[in-house]
Amino acid sequence: MSVRNVSKAAVNAAVAVLLLGSLAACSDRSPAPKAVAPTIEGTKAVTVKDWGPTETRRGEVVNKQPDGASAIWIRVAGVSADPATKVRFGDRHVSPAAVSPDGVTAAVPKAVIDTAGDYPVVIEEGSGRRTNVGTFRVLP
C-alpha cells in the first residue's frame, strides 16, 4: 500500500492514538475517564463520568420509579439524543433510553433484577455506536 492510498481520516486517527498514548504516559494528574467510545465521523467522543446503581440483591428494586420499576442513571457526555438509543444489560436484555445533554437513564429489566449474575451495561446509539459503561451486578 502506498502512502497516497491512506485516507486523511486514517492518518488523523493514528496521530490521535499516538498523542493520547503519549499524554497518558506522561500524566501524573487525574486518572483517565472510565469509558470512551470510538467516535463516528461528525460526532463527539462519549465519556462515561459516573453511573449507578451498580448492584442489587436478586429481587430487590433499585432506584425505584413511580411505576415500581428499577432504573439506572449514567452521567455521560457525547451521546446523541437519538430516540433509537438504548441500554443493553448483557446480550439479551434491552431497555429504551432517555437521553439528556449530560445523562442517560433506562429501566433495568425485571428479568435482570430477578436473576443473580453480572450484566455488562452498554449504551447503544441509533447509529450503532456502543459505549461500555460497566457491569451491573445482581447478588444472590
Residue 69 confidence (pLDDT) above 60: yes
Task: Give alpha helix (H) positions in the chain.
Answer: 8-26, 110-113
Q: 117-124 and 130-139: which strand pairing?
A: antiparallel
Select the more confidently predicted residue: 35 or 51: 51
Segment 130-137 mean pLDDT: 97
- Domain limits of the chain? 37-139
Q: Which helix (H) or strand (E) holds 48?
A: strand 46-52
Residue type, 84: A
pLDDT of residue 9: 41
How confident is the model over 105-131, as pLDDT tens digits? 999 999 999 999 999 999 999 999 999
CATH class of 37-139: mainly beta
Question: Percent of the chain beyond pLDDT 70?
Answer: 69
- Predicted TM-score (pTM) of the model is 0.69
pLDDT of residue 20: 35
How confident is the model over 9-46, as pLDDT tens digits? 443 343 333 333 433 333 333 343 445 455 444 567 89
